[in-house]
Copies of this chain bind each other. A is one copy, B any other.
Amino acid sequence: MLSDKIVLAHGSGGTLMRTLIEELFVEQFADPELKRMDDAATLAVAGSRIAMSTDTYVVSPIFFPGGDIGRLAVCGTVNDVATSGAVPLYLSVGFILEEGLPIADLKRVLVSMSEAAAEAGVRIVTGDTKVVEHGHGDGVYINTTGVGVLAGDTERGAANCKPGDRVLLSGTLGDHGIAVVSQREGLAFSTDIRTDAAPLNHLVANVIEAAPAARCFRDPTRGGLASALNELAVASGVSIVVEESAVPVRAQVQGACEMLGYDVYQVANEGKMIAVVPAEQTEAALEAMKRSPYGEDAAIIGVVEEASPGKVYVNTRFGSTRIMDMLVGEQLPRIC
Residue numbers of A with Cβ under 8 A of B are: 2-11, 17, 20-21, 24-25, 28-31, 33-34, 40-41, 43, 45-50, 52-58, 89-90, 92-104, 106-107, 110-111, 113-114, 117, 123-133, 135-138, 141, 143, 145, 147, 149, 333-334
B55–A94 contact, CB under 8 A?
yes
Query: 14 A-B contacts, Cβ less than 8 Å apart?
Result: A4-B102, A5-B103, A6-B99, A10-B131, A11-B129, A24-B106, A28-B110, A29-B117, A34-B127, A41-B126, A52-B126, A56-B128, A131-B333, A147-B147
Query: Contact partner of A135 among B57, B96, B124, B135, CB < 8 A?
Result: B135
A94–B45 contact, CB under 8 A?
no
A50–B52 contact, CB under 8 A?
no
Interface centre among A33, A41, A127 (most CB of B within 10 A): A127
Contacting residues, chain B, for A127 (C-beta < 8 A): 21, 25, 29, 34, 54
Taken together as a complex, chains A and B put the C-alpha atoms of A55 and B130 apart, in Å, by 9
Closest approach, in angstroms, between the C-beta of A94 and any C-beta of chain B? 4
Taken together as a complex, chains A and B put the C-alpha atoms of A97 and B10 apart, in Å, by 9
Contacting residues, chain B, for A20 (C-beta < 8 A): 129
Taken together as a complex, chains A and B put the C-alpha atoms of A8 and B96 apart, in Å, by 11
Closest approach, in angstroms, between the C-beta of A129 and any C-beta of chain B? 6
Query: Contact partner of A102 among B5, B30, B93, B106, CB < 8 A?
Result: B5
- A24-B110, A103-B2, A136-B137 given as contacts; is B97 within 8 A of A129 (CB)? no
B141–A138 contact, CB under 8 A?
no
Contacting residues, chain B, for A99 (C-beta < 8 A): 5-8
